[in-house]
Structure 1
Amino acid sequence: MATPTAHIASTSTTTSALPSCTTAVPGQYGQVPVTACNSLYNAIPEFIPAVVVSALFGLLTLTHIIEAFVFKKGYAWVLIMAAAWETIAFIFHVLGAHDQQNVAYIIVWQVLFLLAPLWVNAFVYMTFARMVHFYVPDRKVAFVRASHVSKLFVWADIVSFLVQAAGGLMVTPSASAATQRLGMHIYEGGIGLQEVFILCFLGLMIAFHICLKGEGRAQGMLSEEDALNANVGEDRRGTDERKGALRLLYALYAVLAFITMRIIFRLVEFTGGNDPSKNPVPYHEYYFYALDAFPMLTALLILAVVHPGRFIRGPNSSLREATREEKKVKKAEKKALKEQKRVEGNALHNMESRSLMHTKIDKVLGMCAERRSNLTEAVCVRL
């Protein structure tokens, strides 16, 4: 996702990322010029905007908690984590605005703001996998099973999470300028990797979209006689489900678009360098509010209005239960195969035992015949 806001601290409490700096005497709320050595922020944090945004994220967090219970979607905890992390991040930004020399506030704010959107990305992956499981008869898209879609891209999101976390933790105010630059490069690689995964995922979404459109055209091409004979209730239900699927799919497209907007913004911000005269983006809060906080607020709002629980419900709506059922079936199949092999092995063993027994009997009979023959010869000699 995106990185911390404007705090790829160009300055440090000890070493500045700028060519030169001086230590300033903190004023009200610990404020110092952003060019000072003891400045923790690239842009002076504003109190009121941070309060408003934290309240909005908090409201969305509460909304998603309620919807998770109403629609009985356990996996929505992932989305709740995203909203909660954003809320907590901006609460610490509020605190930091009135205590700008507190290193703990900026670190917590920076790390949570950096990583929270990855939860949204994971939720999109998980929701799409459930759409494939629910709407597609064979539960596959582009030859990939729904359960595999979820596992593959969630693990990809975790990899991106770890890379971005490593980079974000290096870009702390107490780090040296060299460490901060390295952290920025690692973070850039992490969000670039994330966008690659999104583009690959987009290919599966388009394949699913084409599948839905194809089903709609197929139903629209029914002859008049077929239409009269068709079950009107089922046809109408199928049409409503398809419309719901398309609506949810468009919502996921929009969320991914906002995530991509945020990634592009961060790439532009970081690749522009730390010189305010050449790259003003990190040194003005309105950039990250407009191109970072706003996209994630909108994404969370979209997922609140077009919640998956409104459309994916009823039989086959739980991917977890289906996955458990698949595991049970596979386990039963393995057990049956093992039992079959055991029975076949016992049968083969019995056959071998019978064969061995017949061989021994034949051998004993042969020995008896040989002894009988020898005895006959001895009697004849005596006579």
Structure 2
Amino acid sequence: MQLKEVCMDPNSNANYSFMYCPSLPAAILFSVLFGLTTLVHVVQAIRHRKAFCWVLIMAGAWETAGLVLRVFNVVATTSLAFGLPSQLLILLAPLWVNAFLYMLMARFVHFYMPEKKIAGVSARRLSLIFVLLDITAFLMQATGGSMISGSDPSSALLGIHIYMGGIGLQEIFVLGFTGLVIRFHVVMKRLTDSGRAAAFWKWPLYLTYMSLSLITIRIIYRLVEFSSGLDSPITEHEAFFYVLDALPMLSVIVAWNAVHPGRVLVGPDSEFPKKIKMSRAQKKAAREAKKQAQSRDLEFGFGKQAESATQLMPAAQPLGWSGESV
């Protein structure tokens, strides 16, 4: 297969993947850039021992894979083997960035907040709640995105509506999360002003604001793109995709290379405490010990109850001849 652009009239072939003449150099450039920043994140995650950064690595990997497939799709524009997987990976990759921000903020709360909670929600529960919400949006967008490229127009239109619902839900979660980020910012500023916290949290927090803003720009672009159904004028210009989708996501991932969480989250409280897993033998021994303890408590409990009952009985009073107490 030769790497050469194929440009044709979209109406001439039902399997043609684009509504414009796609740019091969742009697809190659962005696939290389996403690949490089992803490799750097792999090295940084290993170096700083931040296992939770795998979600950001997944975002970069999906973007890279999606754009590499786009390169082949530009060459073979009528091949659904490249077009559909490429579209799905690019549509869903930003949700990994969302998950990263949720998990990162939860660790900031655990690391910086004295009570290790924000707005009454513990750090660990905060991460769990928003990741589950992110999975919900992911499933909706995956379902809708897989239907958009179908040959049946009615099915494709339904897929657009489902995808728009999923991406709209994603933005609602982003706005709710932004409120918690602002709350964290207010509390941390108060702690920093009083000298009870260092100011190392500021740059990662500013970068979180930037990431959420770029994600919102990308969501608005996708909502506008699909709001006109299958005949949106935005889909006729490739520049919109690179400027309002690929570039914002690349900027977010590269920015976290520059301000990596591992440079800030350092120390024993930088990660959630690990739960100790017991082996089967240890679990069995623990159950036996619990049963023995319950048996002892039961045995001594009856003895104590009997002793208590004896102590509570009124003392016998000597009776006079008349039968009355003396």
Whether 1:113 and 2:69 are equivalent positions in the alignment is no
Show the counterpart of 1:248: 204
**For 1:41, what is the secondary structure of its paired residue?**
coil
Show the counterpart of 2:60: 83
Say whether the 8 Å CA contact 1:29–1:98 is kept in structure 2: yes
Show the counterpart of 1:185: 161
Rounded Cα–Cα distance in structure 1 between residues aligned with 2:215 and 2:199: 25
Show the counterpart of 1:269: 225
Q: What does residue range 154-193 of structure 1 map to in structure 2 within 5 Å?
A: 154-172=131-149, 174-193=150-169
1:69 CA drift (Å)? 1.2
Q: What does residue range 221-300 of structure 1 map to in structure 2 within 5 Å?
A: 238=197, 242-275=198-231, 279-300=232-253
Show the counterpart of 1:311: 264
**For 1:324, what is the secondary structure of its paired residue?**
coil
1:324 to 243, 264, 275: 275
**For 1:274, what is the secondary structure of its paired residue?**
helix
Larger RCO (alpha carbons 8 Å, 6+ apart):
1
Higher-Rg structure is 1
Rounded Cα–Cα distance in structure 2 between residues aligned with 1:30 and 1:305: 37
Show the counterpart of 1:203: 179
Residues 126/339 of structure 1: CA separation in 2 closer, same or farther (3 Å cut) = farther
Rounded Cα–Cα distance in structure 1 between residues aligned with 2:174 and 2:81: 33
Show the counterpart of 1:218: 194
Whether 1:95 and 2:72 are equivalent positions in the alignment is yes
Rounded Cα–Cα distance in structure 2 between residues aligned with 1:50 and 1:37: 22
Say whether the 8 Å CA contact 1:45–1:96 is kept in structure 2: no
**For 1:122, what is the secondary structure of its paired residue?**
helix
Aligned pair count reads: 298
Rounded Cα–Cα distance in structure 2 between residues aligned with 1:170 and 1:346: 67
Q: What does residue range 47-66 of structure 1 map to in structure 2 within 5 Å?
A: 47-66=24-43
Residues 137/352 of structure 1: CA separation in 2 closer, same or farther (3 Å cut) = closer
Rounded Cα–Cα distance in structure 1 between residues aligned with 2:93 and 2:125: 24
Say whether the 8 Å CA contact 1:124–1:252 is kept in structure 2: yes
**For 1:312, what is the secondary structure of its paired residue?**
coil
Say whether the 8 Å CA contact 1:30–1:101 is kept in structure 2: no
**For 2:12, what is the secondary structure of its paired residue?**
coil
Whether 1:142 and 2:110 are equivalent positions in the alignment is no
Say whether the 8 Å CA contact 1:34–1:44 is kept in structure 2: no
Task: Write out per-residue CA displacement over residues 203-236 of structure 1, whole angstroms, 9 at most, x where no aligned residue.
Answer: 11111111111112223xxxxxxxxxxxxxxx7x
Residues 257/51 of structure 1: CA separation in 2 closer, same or farther (3 Å cut) = same
Q: Give the superposed CA RMSD.
A: 2.7
Rounded Cα–Cα distance in structure 1 between residues aligned with 2:187 and 2:291: 39
**For 2:21, what is the secondary structure of its paired residue?**
coil
1:348 CA drift (Å)? 3.2
Whether 1:126 and 2:103 are equivalent positions in the alignment is yes
Q: TM-score, normalised by structure 1?
A: 0.72
2:21 to 25, 44, 55: 44
**For 2:226, what is the secondary structure of its paired residue?**
helix
1:340 CA drift (Å)? 6.8
Show the counterpart of 1:25: none
Question: Percent identity over the alignment?
Answer: 41
Rounded Cα–Cα distance in structure 1 between residues aligned with 2:271 and 2:66: 32
